A = this chain, B = another copy of it.
Amino acid sequence: MSLADSPLLTDLYQLNMMAAYRAHGMLDTAVFELFVRKLPPSRGFLMAAGLEQVVQFLEDLRFTPDDLDILRRIGGFPDTFIDDLADFRFTGDVDALPEGTVYFPDEPVIRVVAPLPQAQLVETRIINLIHFQSVVASKAARMVLAAPGKQLIDFGLRRAHGAEAGMLAARASYLAGFAGSATTLAGALYGVPVFGTMAHSFIQAHDDETQAFEHFARARPAQVVLLIDTYDTEQGARRVVTLAPRLARDGIEVKGVRLDSGDLAAHARAVRRILDDGGLRSVRILASGGLDETSLAELTRDGAPIDGYGIGTSLTTSSDAPALDCAYKLQEYAGLPRRKKSEGKATWPGRKQVWRRRGPDGRFAGDTVATLDDTAPGAPLLVPVMRAGRRLDGLPTLEAARRHAAAQLAALPPALARLEAAPYPVTIAESLRRLADSCDRRTASMPGPLQ
């Protein structure tokens, strides 16, 4: 059983609520929207990602006979409910921000319009998919901004939170502008370029560092990037200089060296000098080891002669902000707007659109969140993605989404493109405030406990 495909990869309460909706004939159209309540302190913007996986999930969603057996064992569900699930299909409509779009709190990222039990069941996995890829794409975008022109590679599968996290992090970081990933399967599954060098264990398994370099180069002659910090970084660089002519005689080119410890800027300068003095000007220097956007920005400011970076844990766990305060909330049911009023967690009701204005320089100048039947200055951001349970033709490929993401980052106002970002203006339209008021007047008339 593949975990990711099972409709039981959901909170039990979704199934409880589905059973109750069906028991009471509550099968009307529901509108849910996913949005972020507020930014983590260390983020100035977020980047939408994960939509492709949501579409695939919704298209493929089925209860297998095994799934139905499990539900029978859990107990308490009416047989008719379980029998009906055998024919379950998602038949709804989806609108969303295209992947790679920069977004802000209160802006719907995805809107699901479907019969209430369907729209309810899919809540958990939709959040699970959009949340994590948004987390990683947003983190990766900061790194891309912090190291302009550098090759960034995802090295973080090992400390990602499980298999799917590693895979989706490779995808989301590529979307946001990374050059590729070390994760082999991400190449096969998503077409993400895959990069691989060597580990310290390879050096350690040899009795002689130079011999280790030579063994690697002869076995993988097309991608010779040598890890030189296992014992002494500058000594490692000198060994590369000694070895390179011998390899060159056999047509093998040393493409790069990798530093993974110590003061990376200082080592990079020393290594660059050793390589240049040894006639290896074309050998690139890659660095890795506990990097994040802050250290990338420092290395950039410092002018460290480093051509590319491998980024692991801080990327794939988004270690400073591993989660977003996001929610998928019922905004309309049976034609009536709905609103949750819990303390500190009130939501804006109804179907919404986000309009984005641009300044004369083409950069983002401000957003307006309005009801769907309203308009606002600028261009609308949510676009149709699925109709009647089927994906629309012409959804962007990962490469197209990556180009869109690059254009979005290029259009950030300068104050947002800094690591310490300034706030961005998001206005709630008058149309939406009026809808919320009318919604509140209706629930205020709800029967009290004594009626």
Residues of A within 8 A of B (CB): 1-4, 6, 8-17, 19-21, 23-24, 26, 30, 32, 70, 73-76, 116, 120, 123-125, 127-129, 131-132, 135, 155, 157-169, 182-185, 187-189, 194-202, 204-210, 215-216, 218-223, 229-232, 235, 238-239, 241-242, 260-262, 313, 317-319, 322-324, 326, 329-330, 333-334, 336, 338-345, 442-443, 446-450
Complex contact B343–A262 (CB within 8 A): yes
B-chain residues with CB within 8 Å of residue A229 when the two chains form the complex: 342-343
| Complex: A159 Cα to B182 Cα, angstroms | 25
Which chain B residue shows the least CB distance to A331?
Answer: B204
Contact: A23 with B215, CB < 8 Å?
A: yes
What are the 5 A-B residue pairs with the smallest beta carbon separation, nearest first?
Answer: A12-B196, A162-B164, A20-B219, A161-B161, A201-B330
A157 contacts B124, C-beta separation under 8 Å: yes
B219 touches A24 (CB 8 A): yes
Bound form: Cα–Cα A345–B208 in Å: 20
**Interface pair A8/B235, CB less than 8 Å apart:** no
Interface contact B162-A222, CB-CB below 8 Å = no
Give, as a whole number of angstroms, the nearest-CB distance from A136 to chain B.
8
Nearest CB on B from A57, distance (A): 10
Q: Determine whether the beta carbon of B159 is less than 8 Å from that of A127.
A: yes
Residue of B at shortest CB range from A241? Answer: B449
Known: A158-B124, A158-B127, A205-B330. A184 touches B344 (CB 8 A): no
What's the nearest-Cβ distance from chain B to residue A213, in Å?
A: 10
Q: Quick one: copies of this chain in the complex?
A: 2
A199: chain B residues within 8 A (beta carbon): 13-14, 17, 120, 123
- Verify A200–B330 contact, CB threshold 8 A: yes
> A334 — which chain B residues lie within 8 A by C-beta?
205
Contact of A16 among B205, B220, B262, B313 (CB under 8 A): B220
Q: List 7 A-B contacts (CB under 8 A).
A: A70-B184, A124-B157, A161-B165, A200-B329, A200-B340, A201-B330, A262-B344
Report yes or no: B76 in contact with A220, Cβ–Cβ below 8 A.
yes
Seed contacts A9-B183, A16-B219, A128-B160; 13 additional CB < 8 Å A-B pairs = A2-B3, A8-B184, A9-B157, A9-B184, A10-B184, A11-B158, A74-B187, A76-B221, A124-B157, A128-B158, A161-B317, A208-B447, A238-B448
Closest to A202 in B: B17
Which residues of chain B come closer than 8 Å to A167, judged between CB atoms?
Answer: 3, 9, 162
Residues of chain B within 8 A (CB-CB) of A219 are 16, 19-20, 23-24
